[in-house]
Structure 1
Amino acid sequence: MTSQFDPEAWKTPQVRAAEAKMASSMSQAKELLKELEKLKPPPPVGISEADVAQLAEAAKKADAPAELRELAKKVDGGALSWRDVLEGKAYDDPDVRRALTAQLGEARELFQQFEEGYTLDDVIEARRAAEESQDEDGSGTTFLR
């Protein structure tokens, strides 16, 4: 009589537990993938001609950030278009990145104020007071800090 060889005999209880845990994780991953496949991606954001015109006009304003004015020169020269900028197609251009990064300053400031515990009402009131102060004396630098 020949004895049967069990190919699983070498596995320790720890190996068997690890295999069971991995099988469970793989099963969960497969379920998550099925759920993800059901989700529909959001529709692409449409860029209207009004959006393009608004950005072009903002770049022409005297108080436009210097980075945006530099970008306007590039657009006027035909190197890229405002639509390319808005759609993200021109993000590889260092001038586009510089202009967009410069615009993040105010958003960072707002985020930091919320992180510091200021409420939306606090932030709005401080900005309103700063705008009024700027109207009166031209400085307008009294934000929350």
Structure 2
Amino acid sequence: MTSQFDPEAWKTPQVRAAEAQMAGSMGKARELLKELEKLRPPPPTSISEDDVRQLAEAAKKSDAPAELRELAQKVDGGALSWRDVLEGRAYDDPDVRLAMTAQIGEAREFFRQFQEGFTLDEVIEARRASEESQEDEDGGTTFLR
């Protein structure tokens, strides 16, 4: 009479518990992978020629921020293109970062005002009043309108 050999007889209760825990974790991981497969990445943002033209024109205005005008000189010199700037390929360039950071500062101010409870109309009105006051002081206009 031969006895049957149990290949798992060596496993202690702790090993069996660890295997069960690992099997549960693997099951959760498989479920998450299935959910991730359902998600679709957003379509890539396409930059139109009109977008490129608008940025190039804005950079050439006399009231454009100095950082943007300096960036325009770099583009005119052929070091990079406006498309590179808009698509993010030129972000390693310190002049590009400087120009974009200047614009982000303004956006941060708007965001702060919204967080403080101001309405969109209040933010716009305050912006207009500030621009009109600035125009009266220096006779110019602002870059973004």
1:7 equivalent in alignment to 2:27: no
The percentage of counterpart residues that share the same residue type is: 70
- Structure 1 unmatched runs, 5+: 140-145
Distance change (3 Å), C-alpha of 1:78 and 1:36: same
Residue matched to 1:83: 83
Residue matched to 1:55: 55
Distance change (3 Å), C-alpha of 1:122 and 1:21: farther
Q: How many residues align?
A: 136
Query: What pairs up with 1:63-78 in 2 under 5 angstroms?
Result: 63-78=63-78
Distance 1:120 1:20 in 2: 55
State the TM-score, normalizing by the size of structure 1.
0.77
Residue matched to 1:116: 116
Amino acid at match of 1:108: R
Runs of 4+ aligned structure 1 residues displaced above 6 Å come to: 1-5
Residue matched to 1:142: none
Distance change (3 Å), C-alpha of 1:57 and 1:112: same
State the TM-score, normalizing by the size of structure 2.
0.77
Amino acid at match of 1:41: P
Q: Alpha-carbon deviations, 1:63-120, whole Å to 9, x = none? A: 1111111111111111111111111111111111111111101111011112222232
- Structure 2 unmatched runs, 5+: 140-145
